[in-house]
Structure 1
Amino acid sequence: MTILEVTENDADDWLQLALELWPDYSLDEMNLVTDGIAQSPRETAFIVRDEQGTAIGFMNLSLRHDYVPGATQQPVAYVEGLYVREPYQKQGIGRQLIHRAEQWARDQGCSELASDVLIDNAPSAAFHSKAGFEEVERTIFFIKNVT
């Protein structure tokens, strides 16, 4: 297994993995997202390939300069998305991605790595806890149509 920073050659595999993680996005919408990350000086992505070269996971990272709950300084390295295909889960690949994120954070001059999960995503919350993240806040957002 290898973890490499995404290049132009990885674009199609990265796009497919991102659509698996976020199926509510259309192909065009997700293509805009991944293209934006690829062009951004404050974002990056890593892809995981097995021994045969098959893409089995990815991670998107950013430097956030806005408020991040629990952070003590800015910018903060942020895990924007992390996904490992189901047959490869629970084999330490996610933790290896987090270790790579930690290195990227240090390389960017950050001393903290942050992330988030949806409040009802218990498996992801458990993963984050096992990977050494500390829960700092829970939020429920509301909206009301006023027209």
Structure 2
Amino acid sequence: MAGPASSEREVILEILFRSGGCLSSHHFIGGNHEASNYLCELHYGGWSLPNIYFLWFAGVVKFGNIHIGGLSRIYNARNYCLGHHERPSYNDNTIRSVYHVWEYDVHKLMHLEEPIDIFLSHDWPLSSTNYGNWQQLVHYQKTIQR
């Protein structure tokens, strides 16, 4: 068992990540497997269920002195610069592009005045396979190519 936390930051991180019951609300981002039609109704993010908060396109919440940021959706080069253009009811193209990351949302996060302490992303960070145990990563994530 760990000794007492030495700072407010450590206490907050312990609450956020300890096993067992969660003392805080849950926060999530969207990817390409969520119900986009439902999440689009929460245009600015918000409570999707009791105690479950959706950060939406690009959002940040503050928990104590910890800033938790998130960028929803997956990267697609063809749609990256298009911006928000999808509207219900979706056609064959917009049903897919609705879950693509837009440059506009990335820029919003890049212009924050305070740094983000914890960042949530559906996509893997660029070059993430260059760190840690690469062989173990490839063993568990068969979709990663050399």
TM bracket (short chain): 0.3 to 0.5
TM-score of the two chains, using structure 2 as the length reference:
0.32
Higher RCO (C-alpha 8 Å, min separation 6): 2
Larger Rg: 1 or 2?
2
- Higher helix proportion (structure 1 or 2): 1
> What is the TM-score with the length of structure 1 in the denominator?
0.32
